Chains A and B, each alone.
Chain A
Amino acid sequence: MLRKISATLLAVVGAIAVGAVALHRHEPINALWIVTAAVCVYLLGFRFYAAWIAARVLSVDASRATPAERLNNGRDFVPTHRVIVFGHHFAAIAGPGPLVGPTLAAQFGYLPGTLWILVGAVLGGCVQDMIILLLSTRRDGRSLGQMARDELGPLGGFAALIGTLLIMIILSAVLGLVIVNVMKHSPWATSTVLATIPAAVIVGLYLRLWRPGRVLEGTLLGVTLVLLALFAGGWVDHQPALRPLFDYSAVVLAGFVIAYGLCAAILPVWLLLAPRDYLSTFLKLGTVALLAVAIVLTHPQIKMPAVTAFTDGTGPLFGGKVFPFVFITIACGAVSGFHALVASGTTPKLITNEADVRLIGYGSMALESFVAIMALIAATLLEPGVFFAINAGAGVVGATPAAAVHTISSWGFPVTVEQMQALANAMGERTLFARSGGAPSLAVGMASIFGTTFGRGLLAVWYHFAIMFEAVFIMAVLDAGTRVGRFMLQDLLGHLWQPLGRTSWYPSVLLASALMVGAWGYFLYIGVIDPNGGVNILWPLFGISNQMLAAIALSVATGIIIKSGKARYALVTLMPLAWLALITTTAAWQKVTSPDSRIGLFAAADDLARKLASGALPPERAAVAGQLIFNQRLDAWLTILFTAILWFVILDMLRVCARRLRGLPLRSSSEAPYRVSRLANAAAQAQP
């Protein structure tokens, strides 16, 4: 009875809040409406849709022994309490993606992004994560690529592998670009971010040499060190002698990031990668919690309109209409294919009971989606003029502050040079113009939330805290991504020449790492020299690749559901799959064929080539035009490749399903046979 009352109450409050968010026009809306709507939607999705999927579609069986129980080795297969697995899984899936995407999509207004984050997560992302988690748990924690090979066929498996490798490259490049844009000509940000590297090394040495494995002590030490680095950075910023030592152009910083990526991939993990991850996880969880508390306490007004005129495709952050580009820009936070890689690997080996997948799979993604909502709030509470001045590239709004404010004000979003200068001073920066990539505007938004809650005098410290938090986060993804990419590349190269496949043979380690870093380093470099900021090209490419991976995961899931004789429930995965296929293909089609050079990659390359040939470009732009033209064509071909992989896997899945429906022989299911769980029995008997 109580459950029914609480569910009804939740539904009513949720409906009112969603209605308020969707119908509010022409006056500022309070962020609390969005928060309330989001929380109600997640809870309803969890309570009803997730429970229904677990019971009917997946036939989750609490009496069935999980791999953690059957294969318990005290190390990676360990039955673990579901709350702890939830924490681990959330820490693994939550990256910088849900912070950047919603910020960029805010150019359409707050409404399109908010609605897509909520609907996409509840019906798509959470469902994908939970189903893949259960399917992998039933297959001893096998990876997505292995499941694709086992259940669809070798070609589907190979496509999944190539898709994964490519997404790692694009992801690393775009995230590298985001932190370069944060650090360029900012001695405070640069010195703080650089100082986190020796801090991580000290923690690494502490955890290996002095106090092996005392993770809590090491984390405490590391967090103290990075907070010291934060204040030291502020001090450096005020020393005329030290300042120039940390004042770098974007190209030099890109070199630093590339060198860091190479080091992290070839050094032993305990020295740099693992300790940095402890720091990043702690900062991540701490900051997300702090942000949630601060948003509720300050309940700021949203200043961005619900929908802006840029839904017609003329947006300054990236070109393209709201359909399909809002769905491409926000991948993480709504549906993220990358999660399927985490959900099929480490997490399934820790699950004590199948029934826990609802909390761990669906629940973690709902929380990650909530992080995306908070990022959207932090971006849209800024004055829209300020938001666009920070995020729009110089190539779009003009290279000088005067030109930029003129262009932005002419769109109906008034902003002045003095206002931007005052804001930059308050944040402890020289300028905030043209810092594209989403991170700086998010940091300004977070600083103003934190500043209002915990003391305005510290705005500059909060800004750089937010910057450091994002940078540590991003570098953790960069080094982990490069390392995994290295292993995958070594695996592939091993087929060409066997010794290259040995993961501990140093020449092979060096070669594969250099290839991986070289690949994303190339895209990073091009992004840095691009006068439009680079993010406008790379982020949509990342979105397309991430949605492609989600479509692969959903194809594998659909194939398995139909093979298991539950075709009547296949819509649960087919519906998000069809939507992703539609938006990804539409976006790819526009990126390739659009004659508008702000959207079409070939059109942009041709346009630039024409300008170069006619001598219309200023000398500094003519110098890099050749590289940009080549890169735009390369990106167009990559987009075509992603779409081809996507449809290849979908058709492979349809082939398998058609065989099943016609009663033809199929690969047998790779599910591990049922064994009764002793843990579940013991738990049931322990109940009074």
Chain B
Amino acid sequence: MRRAARVLRRRAAAIWGWLRAASGDDAYERYRAHQAARHAGEPAMSRRAFYEDTQRRKWSGVSRCC
């Protein structure tokens, strides 16, 4: 019973992770992880600055179609 609950919880967490990755909900965490790994010591953008910057980049090119 307890094992089934654990499997279920792990499945739910995996689905949640996919959903976050697909929607871009985890973009900031990925960015911070990247900064920490490659540019440790450099100042990172705040969550809000990162969000604004991402949107500006995304909507400067063709990203929607007929």
Contact = CB atoms under 8 A, between A and B. Distances in A.
A171 B63 contact: no
A342 interface: yes
A363 interface: no
A75 interface: yes
A94 B65 contact: yes
A388 to B, nearest CB: 25
A462 B54 CA distance: 35
Contacts of A546: 66
Interface string B35-55: 100100000001110111111
B66 A341 contact: no
A270 interface: yes
Given A212-B48, A274-B59, A477 B64 contact: yes
B2 interface: no
23 contacts: A74-B33, A74-B34, A83-B18, A95-B64, A175-B66, A213-B47, A214-B25, A215-B23, A215-B27, A216-B20, A219-B23, A269-B55, A270-B55, A273-B59, A342-B62, A345-B61, A345-B63, A346-B62, A476-B64, A477-B65, A484-B61, A487-B60, A503-B60
Nearest to A87: B22
Contacts of B25: 213-216
Interface string A274-285: 100110000000
B57 A74 contact: no
A92 B56 CA distance: 16
A643 to B, nearest CB: 20
Nearest to A94: B65
Closest 3 CB pairs of A and B: A74-B34, A97-B66, A213-B51
A76 interface: yes
A81 interface: yes
Given A75-B31, A215-B23, 17 more contacts: A74-B33, A75-B54, A84-B18, A95-B64, A95-B65, A207-B51, A208-B51, A208-B52, A212-B47, A213-B54, A214-B25, A216-B20, A336-B65, A336-B66, A477-B66, A487-B60, A546-B66
A476 B66 CA distance: 10
A84 B17 CA distance: 11
Contact of A270 (B21, B52, B66): B52
Contacts of A346: 58, 61-63
Interface in A539-556: 542, 546
A339 B47 CA distance: 32
Given A75-B57, A81-B21, A480-B59, A277 B66 contact: no
A342 B23 contact: no
Residue among B19, B20, B28, B55 with the highest chain A CB neighbour number at 10 A: B55
Residue among A78, A332, A480 with the highest chain B CB neighbour number at 10 A: A480
A476 B18 CA distance: 25
Contacts of A76: 57
Contacts of B61: 143, 345-346, 484
A483 interface: yes
Contact of B22 (A84, A213, A274): A84
A208 B59 contact: no
B30 interface: yes
Interface of B: 18-25, 27-28, 30-31, 33-35, 38, 46-48, 50-66
Nearest to A487: B60
Contacts of A109: none
A393 interface: no
Nearest to A270: B55
Contacts of B34: 72-74, 78
Nearest to B46: A212
Interface of A: 72-76, 78, 80-81, 83-84, 87-88, 92-97, 143, 171, 175, 207-208, 212-216, 219, 269-270, 273-274, 277-278, 331-332, 336, 338-339, 341-342, 345-346, 476-477, 480-481, 483-484, 487, 503, 542, 546
Nearest to A167: B66
A80 B34 CA distance: 13
A480 B64 contact: yes
B58 A78 contact: no
B57 A92 contact: no
B23 A212 contact: no
Given A74-B31, A214-B25, A274-B58, A208 B63 contact: no
A395 to B, nearest CB: 26
Contacts of B58: 269, 274, 346
B61 to A, nearest CB: 5
B28 to A, nearest CB: 5
Contact of A84 (B21, B38, B50, B56): B21
A216 B18 CA distance: 12
A547 B11 CA distance: 45
Residue among B31, B52, B60, B62 with the highest chain A CB neighbour number at 10 A: B62
Nearest to A175: B66
B64 A208 contact: no
Given A74-B31, A74-B35, A332 B66 contact: yes
Contacts of A480: 59, 62-64
A96 B61 CA distance: 19
Nearest to B49: A212
Contacts of A97: 65-66
Nearest to B31: A74
Contacts of A339: 65
A269 B66 contact: no
A286 to B, nearest CB: 13
Contacts of A483: 59
A93 B65 contact: yes
Nearest to A542: B66
Contact of B30 (A78, A92, A269, A331): A78
B51 to A, nearest CB: 4
Given A74-B30, A269-B55, A274-B55, A341 B35 contact: no
B24 to A, nearest CB: 5
A87 B51 CA distance: 21
Contacts of A476: 64
A479 to B, nearest CB: 9
Residue among B18, B28, B52, B61 with the highest chain A CB neighbour number at 10 A: B61
Nearest to B57: A76
B15 to A, nearest CB: 12
Contacts of B54: 75, 213
A338 B62 CA distance: 9
A520 to B, nearest CB: 13
A93 B65 CA distance: 5
A72 B39 CA distance: 12
A83 B18 CA distance: 10
